[in-house]
Structure 1
């Protein structure tokens, strides 16, 4: 008795049409993970800090300001761009999933638009964090009164820090964007380019089909 084959392989053309949306959905999930990683690092006399895309600061202190009356102000970073980017990523992922499951051109267009918005918001967020780096560095300063000088002397005596004598070179760590921030921009831009190419081709085929019927 002949066996009836029940499985029907998906045509290669179908996978070719949907793979950009699969990449977009996966990139959105990866980007959400990357947004919780340190995007900016900074250091100064009173310790070091790292900041994620939402402006959350993780600070390690050396207690250089416990005796000072002029402690630097804490840095305040606006995380609204990251919140908007998160909403856009969720829309992008859901639209991409709908485009994969339903082969829906409208969902594909929504995914493409959302991918562009995500790229712009991520770029704005990175620029905002980079602009806030001096403020973060200043918040890790040591103060300018007698209490801060006493803290420097105690640190020098204990060997935990070098006293900044005039003319003495004291190395300080640099601050700036991390690889997480740069990689996030690349992931967002790459997924946007991929889905835009797919949507452009789909739109072009639709225009050609309509024009053929009219002719």
Structure 2
């Protein structure tokens, strides 16, 4: 969850965001002397905190389920693992919705100092200034493979624990039925 889950590129650098919404950007200092630099994004970290709490509950419940083989612990493990998958999916959705904010934070302000900085960077060869006749292209922003793999792992884990919990509940129902009958 601490690795980059979102990457974005703008005229003023590259930004990476982890699951907790922390933006780290490398800048080309185009907006260094600007009167109004682009605002930094405010990305909520609620989903990542909830996912972290659910991960802790899942681990504790899984240890308890493996030691005591109780249906209640297996059910708690399945519910917690499902919560992790839901929270990670919500975090990815939230980060995907924050892409325009991150790109805006890496954009160039419209005053003359940013334009001069971009032109000087292009003359030095460190930026792609859109000169007439020269093709300039920025990379597309998006979720990283780490984020998508994390989602896949949590969904598969939730499915596996749900199957195990179902088997445990079936054993519990049989044991209760045997005692009653």
CA RMSD of superposed structures (Å): 1.5
Structure 2's unaligned 5+ residue stretches are none
Structure 2 match to 1:4: none
Structure 2 match to 1:107: 73
Confirm whether residue 161 of structure 1 aligns to residue 127 of structure 2.
yes
- Greater alpha carbon shift after TM alignment, 154-163 vs 194-203: 154-163
Structure 2 match to 1:192: 158
Structure 2 match to 1:56: 22
Structure 1's unaligned 5+ residue stretches are 1-34
Confirm whether residue 134 of structure 1 aligns to residue 125 of structure 2.
no
Q: How does 1:16-165 map to 2 (within 5 A)?
A: 35-165=1-131
Rounded Cα–Cα distance in structure 2 between residues aligned with 1:164 and 1:104: 65
Residue aligned with 1:60, SS: strand
Q: Answer whether contact 2:71 2:172 (CA < 8 A) is retained.
A: no
What TM-score, normalized by structure 2, do the two folds share? 0.94
Structure 2 match to 1:13: none
Rounded Cα–Cα distance in structure 2 between residues aligned with 1:163 and 1:207: 69
State the aligned residue count: 181
- Greater alpha carbon shift after TM alignment, 117-126 vs 149-158: 149-158
Residue aligned with 2:90, SS: helix
Larger Rg belongs to: 1
State the 1:168 CA deviation.
4.6
Q: Answer whether contact 1:67 1:151 (CA < 8 A) is retained.
A: no
Rounded Cα–Cα distance in structure 2 between residues aligned with 1:186 and 1:61: 32
Q: Answer whether contact 1:112 1:199 (CA < 8 A) is retained.
A: yes
Rounded Cα–Cα distance in structure 2 between residues aligned with 1:203 and 1:195: 12
What TM-score, normalized by structure 1, do the two folds share? 0.80
